Amino acid sequence: MNNTTPPPLPRRPGALTSFLDGFAAPWTGLRYMNAHPRLWRHGILPILCNLVLSAALFAGLIYGWFRAYAWLGTLFPANWWGATLAVVTVVLVAALEIALAVAAWIVFQGIFCGIFYSRLASEVEIQLGMDPAQMREVPLLYQVTDALLDLAALTAVVFGCFLLGWVPLIGAPLAVVIGLHFNCFVYGMDYLDYPQALRARGRGVQRRFAREHRAATLGLGSSVMLLTFIPLLSPVLLTTAATGSVLLYRKLEDPSG
C-alpha cells in the first residue's frame, strides 16, 4: 500500500503581493536588461518614440487643464453653490482629460511602440529558453487593431464616467475610481499582451488571463500609468516594462518557478 502523500500544489500569492509584483515589473525589467546589456539595442527606438509621445502628452494635458480651469471659472456665480459646482466640474474635467490622454497614449503606443516592444519581448523570451520556432511574429496590423479596440472601450467608459460624475455627492468620486480602475486594468492587460501574443493567444484568452490575475494586472497598469506622467524617466521605464511584463507573465504562469 502506497502512503506517499502527493506534494502540495504551489500556493498562489495574495492579492497585495501580486499587485506589488505587477507594480514592480518596470524595475524588474530594468534590472534584467542591465544584467543583459545586449537587450538595450532593442530598446533604443521605443525609448525615443516614448520620449516624443510622453512630452507631447504631458504638455497637452497641462495646457488643456489650465485652459479649462480658466474657462470654468467664468461659468458659475460667486457664491457657495457656484463654488461647489466649480470644484465638482473641475474634478470631472480633470478626470476626463486624464482619461482622454490615457486613451490617446494607448493608441499611439500601440501603433508606434508596440512593434518594438514585441521584438524586445521576443528577445527576452529567447534568452529565457523559448524556442524561436514556436513564436508568432506580431504584425503591425495586430498592434493597430488592438489599440483601436482599447480606444473604443476607453471612450465608452470615459463617457459613462462623465455622466456618472453628475450624480450628486457620490457621482464624482465614483467616476474617478471607476475610470482609474479601468484604465489601470487596460494598461496592465496591454503589457501582458506582449508575451501572450508571441504565443498566438487571442484577445479573449488575454482578457481571461488578466481577470484571473487581476491584482497583478492592476499593479502593472498602475505602475505604467504613473510612469506615463513622469518626464524623462518614463521613456526608459515604459520600455523596461515590456521586459518586466515577460518576467511577470512567466511568474504568474508558474508561481513555483
CA nearest 108: which of 147, 139, 142, 140? 147
**Whether the predicted pLDDT of 135 surpasses 50:** yes
List pLDDT tens digits, range 95-110: 777 767 766 766 777 7
Cell 505602475 sits at which residue? 223
pLDDT-based confidence at residue 86 (cuts at 50, 70, 90) = low
Dihedral (C-alpha) 193, 14, 184, 51: value to the nearest 10 degrees? -70
Q: Is position 1 within any domain?
A: no
Q: Tell me which H or E stretch contains 21.
A: helix 15-23
Q: pLDDT-based confidence at 215, cuts 50/70/90?
A: very high
11: its cell numbers: 500556493
| CA pseudo-torsion sign 70, 72, 73, 75 | positive
Count of positions (residues) in the chain: 257
pLDDT at res. 54: 72
Distance between CA atoms of residues 38 and 36, nearest Å: 6
In whole numbers, what is the pLDDT of the chain averaged over residues? 80
Residue 80 has pLDDT above 70, yes or no: no
Q: Which domain holds residue 194?
A: 37-253
pLDDT at 112 over 60: yes
Residue 89 forms part of a structural domain: yes
Indicate whether 69 pLDDT > 70: no
Of the listed ranges 73-82, 113-122, 196-205, the one predicted with least confidence:
73-82
Residue type, 79: N
Q: According to the model, what pLDDT value does residue 143 have?
A: 64
194: left (phi over 0), alpha (psi -120 to 50) or beta: alpha
Q: Tell me the C-alpha distance between 186 and 170, whole Å.
A: 24
Phi then psi for residue 190, to 5 deg, are -65, -40
Sign of CA dihedral 72, 75, 77, 82: negative
- Letter for the amino acid at 175? A
Q: Is residue 42 part of a domain?
A: yes
| Tally of domains within the chain | 1
- Rounded distance between C-alpha atoms, residue 168 and residue 36, angstroms: 54
Q: Which position has the grid cell 538595450? A: 40
Alpha helices (H) in 198-232, listed in sequence order? 203-212, 214-228
Q: pLDDT by residue (tens digit) across 15-50?
A: 889 999 999 999 999 999 999 999 999 999 888 888
For residue 6, being part of any structural domain is answered with no
Within a domain: 21? no
Gap between the Cα atoms of 193 and 249, Å rounded: 9
Tens of pLDDT, residue by residue over 174-185, are 888 888 888 899
User: For position 1, what pLDDT does the model report?
Assistant: 47
Its pTM stands at 0.73
Rounded Cα gap, residues 155 and 190, in angstroms: 16
Q: Would residue 32 count as lying in a domain? A: no
Domain assignment of residue 79, yes or no: yes
Angle between helices 233-253 and 15-23 (to 10 degrees): 140
Q: How many CB atoms lie within 10 A of CB 150?
A: 21
Is 28 inside any structural domain?
no
